[in-house]
Amino acid sequence: MTAPPLVLAMPGAQALAAGLAARIDGDCADVEVHDFPDGEHRVRVQAPLAARPVVIAAHLDRPDAKALPLLFTLDLVRELGATRVILAAPYLPYMRQDHRFQPGEAISSASFAAWLSGRLDGLVTVEPHLHRWPSLDAIFRIPTHAASATAAIAGWLRGQVARPVLVGPDEESEQWVARAAAALGAPHAVLRKHRSGDREVRVEGLDPAALAGHEPVLLDDMISTGSTVVEAASALRAAGAPARLCVCVHALFDAEAAARLAAAGLRVASCGTVPHASNAIDVTPAIADGLSALGLQAPCS
Ligand code: R5P
């Protein structure tokens, strides 16, 4: 009989680790990360893990300070005898840097994927920002599973809005918006976005006829500065169909952006891929299904 999986929580990912362990019949423990006064880190795992498959649960928003402790952990668990090392990172960072937009720019998504691929046997994430990359296979050399949040979003929305029309703020949001709308049995519309800076965004292409008789709900994969959905909300207001609700998968926004969103009349509901006050939709089951799809499950007794 093979050993049951051990789910290790990076700092801040204890709830995620516990939820996953319960669903794959494993148990969980913490990765202890000590911050030295000079800013360096030491990681420690006290749970016995030799000859066990290990899942590392990690929230990788604001990733740079988390990346080195993650690297040390991945190398550590391998060295301590884990049979497989799978990363469950509900938010996969750097995916928007999928192109050399200006000469000399790094394509960070490819670098980050190569870095992880060298240390992992598999990756599960949720709704990665696949825009110019057709799939995770384009940049990862390991088995990956991109879990969908759209069924969970549709299930949650069903209890919130009677006759929704889902509105995506830009072309790349079509993939999420169309799937969620299909799951909900609702219509959808997608706008066109022009970005000229981190916070400078313009949207166009709203067809008011597509909204008739429905309540618009904005949906995007992530909110960072809030500029994208605030501009989309403004276009909806100008068309006489103001949105009250905005759903996103990854809530990357800070308090300042939250205030802008509230000033635009938007209540935001996010999936729990990034711990955030707006979390309302649980995608842990979809992540656990992804782990099972990669062969991580409790052994048959
Ligand atoms: C980019 O295309 C993404 O799908 C989001 O629309 C974008 O990252 C949101 O960023 P912000 O909130 O800063 O406008």
Q: Which tens digits make up the pLDDT trace of 114-157?
A: 999 999 999 999 999 999 999 999 999 999 999 999 999 999 99
The average pLDDT across 22-46 equals 97
| Ligand 1 center to 260 CA (angstroms) | 15
| Ligand 1 center to 38 CA (angstroms) | 34
Output the pTM of the full model.
Answer: 0.96
Report the alpha-carbon distance of residue 41 to residue 190 in Å, rounded. 44
The answer to whether the CB of 224 is under 6 A from ligand 1 is yes
Report the alpha-carbon distance of residue 151 to residue 205 in Å, rounded. 27
Q: Per-residue pLDDT for 297 more than 90? A: no
CA distances from 62 to 103, 252, 259 (A): 25, 8, 20
pLDDT, position 296: 86
Q: What is the pLDDT of residues 207-260, one digit of tens each?
A: 888 899 999 999 999 999 999 999 999 999 999 999 999 999 999 999 999 999
Out of 61, 223, 261, give the residue to mutate to test ligand 1, the one with the largest number of ligand atoms within 8 Å of its CB: 223
pLDDT, position 298: 55
Atom of ligand 1 nearest to the CA of 252: 12
pLDDT, position 210: 87
**Mean of the per-residue pLDDT values for the chain?**
96
pLDDT, position 125: 98
pLDDT, position 301: 42
Out of 126, 170, 222, give the residue to mutate to test ligand 1, the one with the largest number of ligand atoms within 8 Å of its CB: 222
Atom of ligand 1 nearest to the CA of 223: 12
Which range has the worst mean pLDDT, 60-69, 74-83, 193-202?
Answer: 193-202
Out of 167, 173, 228, give the residue to mutate to test ligand 1, the one with the largest number of ligand atoms within 8 Å of its CB: 228
Q: Per-residue pLDDT for 299 more than 80? A: no
The answer to whether the CB of 220 is under 6 A from ligand 1 is yes
Q: What is the pLDDT of residues 161-176, one digit of tens each?
A: 999 999 999 999 999 9
pLDDT, position 2: 78
Atom of ligand 1 nearest to the CA of 226: 12
Q: Per-residue pLDDT for 113 more than 90? A: yes
| Ligand 1 center to 118 CA (angstroms) | 29
Atom of ligand 1 nearest to the CA of 129: 4
The average pLDDT across 82-102 equals 97
pLDDT, position 1: 57
The answer to whether the CB of 172 is under 6 A from ligand 1 is yes
| Ligand 1 center to 193 CA (angstroms) | 10
| Ligand 1 center to 31 CA (angstroms) | 31
